[in-house]
Chains A and B, each alone.
Chain A
């Protein structure tokens, strides 16, 4: 029986209403495409930190990081530590993000056009949207699963609840674009931070550090503290996640869009440096919730589906009224993520995939209308895909594998574009094709009974690692194979 009461429902409903009203209200500041997509590049440091933090933490994040805590113990926070380190290094050195911001582009593919031509820009747009939408497609279902467990919501009403929530988020994103997203992100950052801190401190007080450590020791042994000796993780897991961390920091469109919206490259770097510790918190704090579930719940109460362990634990651990604050915090986190992601993929569709159509010549009014229509269509896709796809294995690995569809090729292309003179469109095309086909092939093979044992033998980590290495090799070989005469001709055309 859940501790969620009518009073908690009132708190949640009031919060959602306030956010949607504010998000819709600020639409009057948007009259141009660049105001809609990158808030007129007026983003400053603290709002940037709030927005990046809120965007990169949704219910889905809380679910998979808690699942990592439940399944792997403290070692489950390893990806967060790797992302934080990568982000700090990039923030300090300005590696790739300096030239990217200085180029004054709105998306990464726009930068690629300058080096590799318009065809590579278009292909990059396609893989970014494909990987991003497949990645985001499971957000709604996981958010719904959370509400069912925590609030005791009847699963019969899950679809209609998630549809209404998505409609509200879509409304302010469609009308106010990045300006609405940034301002609602600020409110959502405050709300979700309060929820995250309150529950974690309650766990420390009510359960205690000693019991958390004991549960990890009993269930996972030394592997619960050290990813290298965990039987389900090991060096392959760490290396794959290190590749993902670097690629996420350099090319994950929702993350990089904050750098592109920043006032200048120095502000972009400060946002990265200031936000980097958050990525440890993002994995470790909900990870502690997952470990707390390991302490409180028996394996029978959780069953096979370990992702529901944390919400099931919360449903009885958090007292009424506080429950309303926690659910509002989680919904806040989810709303900011969904809004940012819809806007981001919409930006790439308009700016890069549709570039041959509008050629940057459409009127501001027509451009705005088109962007709004694209975001609405992404919302429809989310509803359809989000409610039928079933994840195989753990959620973080699904997200990392689908993200790799573009993370692997885009990160290699970006590094080559910024720092390797010999890189050309042959190498870029080979990298994009290989980077998309390997992860997609892996996902398909997981679904086909005949090839499923093979995917289990190879495993997602080795497959993911090979994708990154293969893409880098394809970039180098492809670039070197292009005859000099052809290279000179395309240079002259540029």
Chain B
């Protein structure tokens, strides 16, 4: 039973990582753009 727990956890980790990688790759780039934009504005102020 406990072996299946570790198998499920390992597969869950791979699955979670794949999903998060996709999300973060896309939205993280947007966050960088926003951050630099806001910092540029604040710098001008």
Contact = CB atoms under 8 A, between A and B. Distances in A.
A55 interface: no
Among A47, A186, A197, A288, which residue has the most Cβ atoms of chain B within 10 A? A47
Nearest to B13: A281
A186 B28 CA distance: 7
Interface in B1-45: 2-3, 6-7, 9-10, 12-14, 16-18, 20-21, 23-32, 34-36, 38-40, 42-43
B21 A179 contact: no
Contact of B39 (A35, A49, A209): A35
Interface of B is mostly: helix
Contacts of A44: 31, 34-35
Nearest to A196: B17
A431 B5 CA distance: 39
A70 interface: no
B31 A284 contact: no
Contact of A288 (B10, B23, B29): B10
Contacts of B38: 40, 42
B6 A49 contact: no
A65 to B, nearest CB: 12
A63 B34 CA distance: 35
Contacts of B42: 35, 40
A325 to B, nearest CB: 14
B6 to A, nearest CB: 4
B27 A46 contact: yes
Interface residues of A, number: 42
B17 A281 contact: yes
A225 B30 contact: no
Contact of A46 (B30, B36, B43): B30
User: Chain A: interface secondary structure?
Assistant: helix
Given A40-B42, A46-B23, A190-B25, A284 B18 contact: no
A449 B6 CA distance: 40
Nearest to B2: A225
Contacts of A189: 24, 28
Nearest to A189: B24
B12 to A, nearest CB: 8
A287 to B, nearest CB: 9
Contacts of B26: 46
B28 A284 contact: no
A200 B28 contact: no
B21 to A, nearest CB: 5
Interface string A248-289: 000000000000000000000000001001101100110010
Contacts of B3: 213, 225
B5 to A, nearest CB: 8
Given A44-B34, A193-B21, A281-B13, A29 B28 contact: no
A39 interface: yes
Contact of B17 (A29, A74, A179, A197): A197
Most chain A beta-carbon neighbours within 10 Å: one of B24, B32, B39 = B24
Given A190-B25, A193-B21, A281-B13, A179 B2 contact: no
Contacts of B7: 209
A280 B34 CA distance: 30
13 contacts: A29-B40, A35-B39, A42-B35, A42-B38, A46-B23, A50-B24, A182-B32, A183-B32, A193-B17, A194-B21, A225-B6, A277-B13, A277-B16
Given A46-B31, A193-B21, 7 more contacts: A45-B31, A47-B28, A197-B21, A200-B14, A277-B13, A285-B10, A285-B14
The 9 A-B pairs with the shortest beta carbon distances in the complex, nearest first, are A47-B31, A46-B27, A44-B31, A281-B13, A46-B28, A42-B35, A74-B6, A225-B2, A193-B21
Interface of A: 26, 29, 31, 35, 39-40, 42-50, 53, 74, 77, 179, 182-183, 186, 189-190, 193-194, 196-197, 200-201, 209, 213, 225-226, 274, 277-278, 280-281, 284-285, 288
